[in-house]
Amino acid sequence: MELIARISKGTKMDQVYIPKNRPGLTTGSYVIIKPIETKSQTKKLNLYNVKQIEPIKMDIASKIIEAIDQFTNQNIIISGSFLDKGFNFNDIDIIIINENKLDINQIQRIIEKELGIKTHIIQLDNKALINGLQTDPLYKMLLSKCIAKKRFIYKTKNKINYKILDLHLLKSKILIDNFDFLSGNEKYYLMRNLIAIALFLQNKEINKEKVDKEIIKTFDLESIDQIKQNLLEKNKFLKRYKTIYKQLFDKIMKNASK
């Protein structure tokens, strides 16, 4: 049995009044009190490949969208590690689809002031977003799992731009040079970047689950936690990583010069 009631202000304690006629809820019963999710919240949020998410994150996403709505009525997309299970994220990745330039710094300040959460915001128009999905594996990763204010469908074919891939690949070289100084999460990010580029060049589907699965297979790991907990066997891992990096680097350089 469920009852809906309003919290009333009391002299010493606030209270909830419920009818006496309530089968199944006898005096002395223990109950759970929780807020009702409003229609306005659920209406705004469209989930893509988000199978399970904590209610508090849904509430945060809704409040972020409400804050940004002051500046634009276009689509707002929330993605990244914020959507993973648990609360192991440093900031929230947000993509704002808008044709006119917005004051991103002001939006970030408002969200941080109202919610106490840091954000990483990218503003794109539709043309730039579509181009990014065609040429950049990281864009594909971002939008493969997300929450959006408005429904969207982006069907694009890969257009390989070797100069863009070269810049992305360069980031992953950091892992080779700084293995001992990087955290587990930093290593995971750089490995994910490397494998996403490899899958993109093979014209394979890119999303977090497929990239994680490929990382585990490629580096013969038990799970992704092995990376995040910094439990990699350095010499064995780096030997394999350097081989893959060189193969990708040679392929990109060979085609970039054409």
Q: pLDDT tens-digit profile of 73-129?
A: 899 999 988 998 887 778 899 999 998 899 999 999 999 998 888 999 999 999 999
pLDDT score, position 41: 46
**Cα–Cα distance measured from residue 69 to residue 88, given in angstroms and rounded to the nearest whole number:** 27
pLDDT at 1 over 70: no
- The pLDDT value given to residue 40: 44
What is the pLDDT, as a whole number, of residue 247?
96
69-74-76 Cα angle (round to 5):
70
Could you report the per-residue pLDDT of 188-227, keeping only the tens digit for each? 999 999 999 999 999 998 988 999 999 999 999 999 999 9
From residue 170, give the alpha-carbon distance in Å to each of 166, 249, 252: 6, 9, 11
Q: What mean pLDDT comes out for the span 34-48? A: 64
- Give 49's DSSP letter: S
Residue 243, helix vs strand vs coil: helix
- Residue 251 above 90 pLDDT? yes
Overall average pLDDT of the 140-169 stretch: 89
The pLDDT value given to residue 215? 96
Q: Which of 49-53, 54-58, 126-130, 192-196: highest mean pLDDT? A: 192-196
Residue 63 has pLDDT above 80, yes or no: yes
Q: What is the CATH number of domain 39-148?
A: 3.30.460
What is the rounded CA–CA span in Å between residue 248 and residue 206?
17
Q: Which amino acid is at 87?
A: F
pTM: 0.74
What integer best gives the mean pLDDT of the chain? 88
Q: What's the full length of the chain, in residues?
A: 258
Going from N- to C-terminal start, the domains of the chain cover: 39-148, 162-256
Q: Does position 165 have pLDDT exceeding 50, yes or no?
A: yes
pLDDT at 8 over 90: no
